[in-house]
Structures are given as C-alpha cells and as structure tokens.
Chain A
Amino acid sequence: MKLLEVKNLRTYFTISQGTVKAVDDVSFDLDHGEALGIVGESGCGKTTSALSIAKLLPKEGKIVGGEILLEGKDLAKLSDEEIQKHRWNDVSICFQGAMNALNPVMKIGEQIAEAIVLHHKSSEKDAMKKAAELLELVEIPGERINNYPHEFSGGMKQRVMIAMALACDPKIIIGDEPTTALDVMVQAQILNLLERLRTEFDMGFILITHDLSILAETCDKIAVMYAGRIVEKGSSEDIFQRTGHPYTKKLIKCFPDIKGNKRMMEGIPGAPPNMLEIPPGCPFHPRCEYAEEVCRRSMPDAIERDRGHFVACHRWEVMRSER
C-alpha cells in the first residue's frame, strides 16, 4: 500500500464572485521515504492541494470530490474532529515564512512543545525535553529552547519550523515553500537537512515551491501544476530531460543554466489565468507557442507517455519530435 494516494482531488473555493476551482482533478501518490515536488506559478493551486491533505483550508474552501488515501484511509471523508488525530501525528506542515509562523513573544521550546502537549497529552516538562531533542535534531543546540524567535537567524527559524513539524513523528511532512525567504547557502543547508531527516525517519515529503531548480536536487518525483491541474508529472529525469509539456519547458527556461551556453533568460508571456474564468480547452493555450485549434476546444487528458510520466497536452508528440 502506498503511504499517500491522492485521487481526482477537487478543492473549490466559493467566494462572492463565483467558484474558484483551485484544485481540479489532481492525482498523485507518495511512498515512504519519497519526496514529491509540486511546482507552478503563484495561484496555480499547489499550496491548496497540499493543505487539502491536512484539511487546513480556509473556511471558503471545500474538498468537493476525490479521495485522499493515507495508508488506505480516506482523509477527505473525515470530520474536523477526526482529522485532528491525523494532523501532526501523520501529516505535518512546515509553514512558509518562518518569521511569521513563530509567535514573537513565546519561547521557541514552548512553541515546539505545544504540539506535543496537545497531541500526546504529555506533561509540559516532558514536552520541553522532547523539544530540546528536536532542536538538536535540526542542528540547533538544545539549550536554546528558552530563547525567543528574535534571537534566531532566518535559517535557524526555518529549522525551528522543521523541528515543530517533526514534533509528533509524522509520516508525511509538507514543506510549503520552506526555503523561499532564505539566501542560497542557507537554502541548501535546509534542503540537505530535510533530505537527511527524510531518509533517517523514512518519511514522505511533499515540497511545494515555485523554484524548479530546488526540486531537481531534492525530489524523486515532480508534479507541475497550472490553473489548478497537474499538467505534467513524472520522475525528475522525466521532467528535466524528457520534458513533455510546453509549460514545463517554459518554466525550465526561466532558470539560468550554469553549465550550458550563455543565453537570455526567458519569461513566460502573459499571466496566469484568472481562476474565476479559466480559458476553455487547455488552460495554457493563450500563452502556448504550440497551441492549435484543438487546444482551444478541448481539455487534454493526462496521458502516460512513458512509465509513470504523465503529460496533459494535445501537442506532446510535436514537443517530443522537436527534441
């Protein structure tokens, strides 16, 4: 049995202007010790997909269809009270922007211990001891549990967030842009730390980011999202070496290649679609250089092009022949 299987997940937001299909028919899976990267532009639904797993959606958001199977148990059907047992014990989240996710007037140790006390009903003292151990695990001296957030650097705060995510020995950690606000050196340290912990504890790891270059190093599998759908998913070799979707190709071109020839950086023309009015047919067609009549008319299905490499594009054969 897979650790996590998300099947045809649909998460919609009902707002006064209409319905936003933030996540529309998304499927992916994750095994023990595996890392999955979800990449895409802002507002493409990557964070919403991940938050749906822990059912931490804002009140306007609702899972309207699909299954989230955690070791065979469907989390999508659980009530708010039932999901509480799984949050943090099974699925924990390492939040975006550690500086904001820490309470400035509360000691680091107390904030880590909070989750332990709430979930394991252990005493404050035991929880603080565990908090110190967790800090050591993320390479911060344990005696710093008595410090306040402002006494830590940005990278250390992110480590604290990771320690917090580990508090209840979860099976899956979701990292929501865990390295976004950090400089490249610290980014690498955090990613190495996450990788080490993942293999050490055999956890599943979902990394949400807009930075493809991070995924190349850390993730076994990558899913590329656009306008609430997964347009391409596969192993990281599939994505980078056998790119199958024009959007992925554009994303890759957005990053400089250190080894290759000097070339101008390319952006992707246009802007991500308004999620209230997703273009008919393939949502990417207005920005796609390969778009044809068929792209404007019908939504392409995800086709398994190679083993485990899915591409949702009418023109994928043209893409392939071009390479």
Chain B
Amino acid sequence: MMKSRRVLEFFIEGAIFLAGTVSILFVILIFIFLLKEGLALFRTVSVWEFLAGKNWYPISDPPRFGGLSLILGSIWVTAGAIVISVPIGVACAVFIAEVAPRWLREVLKGSVEFLAAIPSIVLGFIGLVTLVPLVQKIFGLSTGLTALSGSLMLGFMAMPTIVSIMEDALTAVPRSYREGALALGATHWQAIWRVVLPAASSGVIAALMLGIGRVIGETMAVMMITGNAARIPTTLLEPVRTMTATVAAEMGEAVQGSPHYFSLFAIGIVLFLITFIINLTADFFLHRKK
C-alpha cells in the first residue's frame, strides 16, 4: 500500500483517538478551572463559613460569604420541584408506556419531548408573566416571586427528563412479566402496579437522580421567578436565591480577582460536584439494570 496513504491514515487515526479522549479532557479542564479560581476564596474565607454561614453579603464592607442561604435555596426549590414532578412524571410515563393506545404513544412522547426543546429562558419569561402573578393572587402575597413559583416551574421543566427515562425503563421490562401477571388473573392495573413498576424501580431512581440534576442546574428560569433574596427561607412562599441564580446574577458585578469573583467560582465547584455525584449515581443505576 502506498506509503503516503499510510502516513495520512496514521494522522487521521491519531486525530480520531484525540477526539475520543476529548470528553475526559474537558471534564478535567472544567474542574481545574473551577478549582483554580474557586479555591482562591478560601485564602480569606473558611470553608465552614462558606458552606454554613448564613449571611451572603458579597458587596458589603467587609464582604460576607456565607453560602448557606444559597445552598438551602437550591435545596428547597429542588425538593419542591421533585415532589411535584416525580409522581406526575412517573404517572405520565406509565400512562404513555402501558395504557395509551399505540397510535397515541408517539404523539404523547413527541409532545413531552417538545417541552424539552423550549429554551429555559422562554419558560422563565412565561413563568414571570403568568405563574408569578398567579401565585401572588392565590396566596395573597406581596410578591409572587417565591420558592414555590420556582418549584412549580422547575418541576414542570424536569418532566421530559423524568418521563423519558421512566418510559425507557418501563418498555425495557420484558413482556413476559406483564403477560405472566395477566395470565394469573390480574387486571391491567394490578399487573402494572405489582409487577411492572417494581421491575422498573431502578428506572425510578435514575429518573429521580437525573431530575434532581436537571433542576439543581437550572439557572435562567429560576433566576427570573424566585425573587433573588439571599435569605434562608422558612416557607416556600418567600423569595429565595439559588446557587445557580447567584452566579448568573452577580458575575456581572464581581471584579475579576476579587474575593467576590472567587466566591462565585467556589459556588461553581459546589454545583459541579453535586451534579457529578448525581450523574455518577444515576449512571450506576441505569447500568446496573442492564
């Protein structure tokens, strides 16, 4: 074979190999850059203060970087969103996979996936002009920019993730399970509830984890409708600030190289680690099933 062709192929295959490893490279790079700027915060602020301090006053003098309110803000909104979205999402997936007639199935799946295609900024905007005033009116509050609004919207946005994972898990359950139950005289519902759902249980867990990951990472929608008050909430009907919203909102004001700047990267580290662990766990559950 021609030598020149050999050489060309060698380089092409080298490029292919490099491209293959690129994903590892980027994960590491992201982590390194977050650490580079984020760890600098801890020259002046202790880790404990950052994670457990209650006061987030980055522009006061002296600045305080107690991130507890932000972390709790994220947790509250996420918890609320998950409580809403998992039951409904799983129920919808069960409906699509087990109950809906075949012709309807693709239409329903497509519609749910369509929701996933809508940019989050658009959903945030819609939430701002419809959901927020609604919440304000229903609960008689001074403002509808609350954790509840955030949970509702984010729960809604997490649906496609939960529905699609759950639907995959359900269709992966062998037909013989269903048919076995039905042959023993069970109703369709009993077969679903007692046999199919338990068999797809790791799918529920994976959907849960990936749903959490999706919600905790959401930035724009939550920034627009939860009110951006960095206080520890006592009820869901108050404004909160999540970690993601904090970074997005304050980066514009933070001077490069200042502790404020570093603190936002430090939040980034926390977010990265959380989603890293969640993804690892969800992936583990998804693969264990196979």
Is B a genuine binding partner of A? no
Residues of A within 8 A of B (CB): none
